[in-house]
Amino acid sequence: MIQAVILASDETHLTNFSGSKVFHALYMTLGNIYGHIRRQPQSGAWVLLAILPSSSFTQTLLNLTSPQSYVKLNKNQAASLPGILKQCLYHECMAIVIDPLCYAKRRSCFVLGPGNKIHSSMACLVGYIADMKEQFMIACVTPRACPICLAQPRLHNSTIQDHCTAKPHTGSSTLDVLYRVRNAHPDVPIWKFRTLVSKEKCGVSGYVEHPFWEDLDVGPSHFICQDLLHGAHKFFWDHPCKWIASLIGTECLDRRISLLPKEGLHHFKSGISKLKQASGREHRDLLKYIAPALAGAPRVTPQFRDFILALLHIIMIIQLPMLDDNILGELDKHFEVMYANADEAISLGLRKNLWIPKLMALTHFCQDIQLGGVSSNWSSETPETLHKLLPKSLYGQTNHKDYHIPMLEMLTVHETKRVRHEYIQWRSSIQSSQHPNPPLDHTQNYGIKIAQRPHKQGVAITSLTAKSGSLAGLISAICKFSAEADATASTSTATHQVSGTYDLSSPWFPRRYNKLDLWWSYRLTIPPFNEFYERETRTIWCKTVEDHQKSKWKGYGSCVFVLAHPKRHGIHSMSATTLKGP
């Protein structure tokens, strides 16, 4: 059995707007775990494998500026030294972490596999999720080259199409260049080595002489995965959206987007130009607004429109939860349309060239999908969420000074508690059902979530009904709900037939509902259609019609009854009705 190791690393700031405490986390999961479990950050499928040190090397032991210094560096070499040291430190640390996966040191071990059988298993690195900046560092290439293939736009004047046909940028091709330069110049220091490697003009950066993947049997072109969040969603926000705004005017684009009806998506009521920071969801939702906002806009040529539509089609298709050869064939057609109309952005004066690393990376999604499955397997959205759950929440519990060791200790305690809890659950499931591997039940995720404290507590029902005559149906609904709850609780088969309208004097109206706790919103969790889909969460606003007219929230007047057991936690029974507003 192969244990498919997937790594993800990302840098995050521990503090907002103060200090520069950077946390470079390396997470690990296994490709053998079901995708829908792996995509849930709280499922325990991801572990914090290492904290990589990061330093900007503003001070080193080499006194570079002193005239007496024995090391003589020119201005360019001195400027590149912090970058060289930073990359060397990253690769040295990663080499320690990755050591058990090296070809020569890899050993098989026996693990308990599916069906409670002992399997001989071997770990192998199959994927590495990282943003574009880190991809260049891992592959040891310059930002002018592609980490996946040998097409180099700035050096060899190649076009976007060349990324489809170019040979892969294998680990051995990079190592060949590094070894060749080192053999020719055995005594040069690292800052001169970098200059000599860059003169080879093959896209290798030369910052690092011994990459961490040197002893692995896979190269970076195989294990680096295209990231959906940065490579597709953020790319569209950062580049094509800016081109459209400068073509038709920022105000025009904002107005067109704000006028579009909101259809269960984030509504950009003031447009997009004034948004300083956008979340992943906003990036995704904008893609659905752009095409109608572009329709009939001034200065938009048919070629430019086709180029943007082809890009939208490509991004929409690569994020589908299920893909087959027919859909991938369709994707090729959209790529052809994109290539045919790509130069229009240059003709319209929006760009000088199309040498954008993320646009180039878009062409490699197809190859990733064929090799490693759907692109949601490789989105950096999960590591970004893990940052909030692990480092940021643990850092808040420390004294903010010597925080690394306390954070790791807290993490060990959390991890041990979780593993113990899951072991106890697994044991009890065996004892109770005699089925060690129960089938996955996707409907178990179904539910309603409400805030622990009500938004308004102990409101008299008479004041609610006096406020608005339209709440007359509420009392009848409570009577019906109460009668149904009684019928469920009692074992007698005779059920009360409660229908029609009732008022407060009705014998069916329970006195305990004279005062009600009110929630103005609740979250409804809809179970996934199958294992390829994620469960969906919707916020439902349920303010009364009068309250909702006063506030900015646009509610639908839905009402939820919650029956809580006084001695137990959580929600045990619920029923919903709809209020009819004027």
Binding site for Zn ion (CB under 5 A): 146, 148-149, 151, 163
Angle between helices 240-248 and 280-294 (to 10 degrees): 40
Q: How far is the CB of 221 from Zn ion (least distance, A)?
A: 9
The string of DSSP codes covering 404-432 is: HHHHHHHHHHHHHHHHHHHHHHHHHHHHH
Q: Which is nearer to Zn ion, 162 or 381 (CB)?
A: 162
- The one-letter amino acid code at 117 reads K
CA–CA gap between residue 310 and residue 435 (Å, rounded): 50
**Of 211, 212, 83, 222, whose CA–CA distance to 149 is shortest?**
222
- Give 204's DSSP letter: B
Q: Which is nearer to Zn ion, 208 or 359 (CB)?
A: 359
Q: How many CB atoms lie within 10 A of CB 45?
A: 19
- Give 168's DSSP letter: B
* Whether the Cβ atoms of residue 156 and residue 150 lie closer than 8 Å to each other: no
Q: Which is nearer to Zn ion, 87 or 221 (CB)?
A: 221
Q: Give the burial class of 68: count Cβ atoms within 10 A of its Cβ; 0-12 exposed, 13-18 middle, 19 or more buried.
A: exposed
Q: Which is nearer to Zn ion, 146 or 478 (CB)?
A: 146
CA–CA gap between residue 174 and residue 164 (Å, rounded): 20
Q: How far is the CB of 163 from Zn ion (least distance, A)?
A: 4
Q: Which is nearer to Zn ion, 149 or 312 (CB)?
A: 149
Q: Which is nearer to Zn ion, 149 or 204 (CB)?
A: 149
- Residue nearest to Zn ion as judged by C-beta position: 146
CA neighbours closer than 13 Å in the CB half-sphere of residue 295:
6
Q: How far is the CB of 218 from Zn ion (least distance, A)?
A: 17
Q: How far is the CB of 339 from Zn ion (least distance, A)?
A: 14
**Site of tokens 């006195």:** 511
Q: Which is nearer to Zn ion, 81 or 148 (CB)?
A: 148
CA–CA gap between residue 194 and residue 205 (Å, rounded): 7
- Give 498's DSSP letter: -
Q: Which is nearer to Zn ion, 98 or 141 (CB)?
A: 141
CA–CA gap between residue 175 and residue 191 (Å, rounded): 18
Q: Which is nearer to Zn ion, 146 or 342 (CB)?
A: 146
Q: Which is nearer to Zn ion, 148 or 232 (CB)?
A: 148
**Of 123, 148, 139, 217, whose CA–CA distance to 174 is shortest?**
139
Tokens (6 digits) for 566: 């006084």
From residue 150, give the alpha-carbon distance in Å to each of 94, 256, 276, 409: 25, 41, 36, 44
Phi-psi region of 180 (alpha: psi -120 to 50; beta: other; left: phi over 0): alpha
CA–CA gap between residue 530 and residue 43 (Å, rounded): 18
- Give 214's DSSP letter: T
CA–CA gap between residue 158 and residue 152 (Å, rounded): 6
**Of 396, 42, 369, whose CA–CA distance to 228 is shortest?**
369
φ, ψ for residue 373, nearest 5 deg: 90, -170
Q: Which is nearer to Zn ion, 148 or 542 (CB)?
A: 148
Q: Which is nearer to Zn ion, 158 or 382 (CB)?
A: 158
Q: How far is the CB of 143 from Zn ion (least distance, A)?
A: 13
CA–CA gap between residue 273 and residue 258 (Å, rounded): 11
- Give 446's DSSP letter: -
Q: Which is nearer to Zn ion, 30 or 218 (CB)?
A: 218
